[in-house]
Amino acid sequence: MNPLSLILLPVLWVAVALLIPSNRWRPLVLPLAAAMHLGNVLLQVSGDTQAIAGGWLVLDPLAKVVILSVALLFQFCALYAPGYLRVRHDRPNRIFCGGLLNMVAMLSLAAMAHHLGLMWVALEATTLASAPMIYFNQTPRALEATWKYLLICSVGIALALFGSFFLAYAALKGGHTPTLLFDDLVAKAHLLSVPWLHAAFVTLLVGYGTKMGLAPMHTWKPDAYGEAPGIVGAMLAGGVTSGAFVAILRFTTIMRAAGQQSFAGPILVAMGLLSMAFAAVFMVRQKDLKRMLAWSSVEHMGLLVLGAGIGGLALYGALLHLINNALTKGVLFLSSGNIHRAYGSKSTDQVTGALARVPWSAGLFLAGFIAITGSPPFGPFLSEFTIVRGVFTAESYVVAGLLLLLLLVVFMGMGKTVLTAVQGAPPPGSLIVHADSPWLVLPIVGLLGLVLLLGLYIPPPLAELLQKAAAYLEGTP
């Protein structure tokens, strides 16, 4: 099947969702569309690298990793969506359903785009698709979060556009025809003007780092994740941020091909450690469950770029962690949404004793915390351990020490909030708003099962795909 179907089929389902008149039946489109998309993705990633549209779109190993990660996460979010939207029957869901499908289509486009302008358009489209969903609850805080998300991400994406122009100008200053095609830039990387190449990389890192939520450009995250529905938070934390990471990886590949890894690597490592430090500081004594997950996302985005900056084994670990982080964030955001609805609050001032009130959701939330903080036997333990091994292999012992220290602080800070929420007794006199429901629990169980599987066993086809993606990014056979 043509790789273009990875974009066009979700777009077709967007049209179907928008045309269905019934709020009751429209959400059922999501599981069907997600299953068809995932089946298509599994067929496509097992094949060879394919280029279409004159090389503007390429289904390369990196694109396969990201598209597979997003498709898996979206499948379980789509299974969760009908039950969630049935509970929220007071809200129209046409824009919500269409926005989710459009987000998946644009993330596929961003992952496959080998023209930097097309990648920019796709990532900006994810912003426009997700913003109305952040406002789904239609509260003043949700409106503020939506505008903050739009304004800050728009500034970031504007900087990314300037960075793309700088990159084309680096080719022009090098005496060659300016181009925004990734493959041409890699081939001509050694001839690019170094000052303009440096300016392009820094500007692009700030621009797409804003979209990814790296500190200190992360300021939209706590509000957006805190006010968005759980499904939207999961897709932002596990999908949109992964699309922005793809852009950073591609520009890092150009820097490596130009022999400028010594410039790009330390900047990425510093940004990674800074993001983890911000998360560690603000995670301590955090009472809002969803804002805590936003800081967790800042931490893990830092971990990803740190792995990319170190390279080698750490880069392989970062690609594996991209998948593990996406799936585990799905567990956490969906289960925290269930807890939020059960209490009518997401603050630990009101949320205590969740294991007694909603035992399934609270148990899954606790398991998600254990997983995301890198505890065995879950997938994030394996990917974080691989990144740490890569740092030690590169003999960056100071970085390794700081990394381990920050992971410990995050574990303690996040653990205090999670244990406060799930342990003890519910507040006296409070009434349960929504109890556990199989439709809102089983998809989370499925996600957690995948996270556990990836901690115990990585299927050989996936391991091979990750190895190919890491080798592809480092320009090795």
- What pLDDT does residue 206 have? 95
SS3 state of residue 58: strand
Phi, psi of 350 (to 5 degrees): -110, -25
Give counts: helices (H), strands (E), the chain.
20, 2
- Domain extent listing, the chain: 138-473
Distance in angstroms (rounded) separating the CA atoms of residues 398 and 405: 11
Q: pLDDT tens, 246-284?
A: 999 999 999 999 999 999 999 999 999 999 999 999 988
Q: pLDDT tens, 371-387?
A: 999 999 999 999 999 99
**Which residues of the chain register pLDDT less than 50?**
none
On whether the CB atoms of residues 221 and 292 are closer than 8 A, the answer is no
- What pLDDT does residue 439 have? 92
Residue of 343, 340, 87 lying closest to 233 (CA atoms) = 340
The alpha-carbon radius of gyration of the chain (Å, integer) is 21
Q: To the nearest 5 percent, what fractions of the chain are helix, strand and coil?
A: 75, 0, 20
Please name the amino acid found at residue 112.
Answer: M
- What pLDDT does residue 433 have? 63
CA separation (Å) from 77 to 84, 148, 232, 335, 450?
Answer: 10, 25, 9, 11, 14
Distance in angstroms (rounded) separating the CA atoms of residues 360 and 448: 12
Distance in angstroms (rounded) separating the CA atoms of residues 83 and 91: 13
- What pLDDT does residue 48 have? 81
Distance in angstroms (rounded) separating the CA atoms of residues 404 and 398: 10
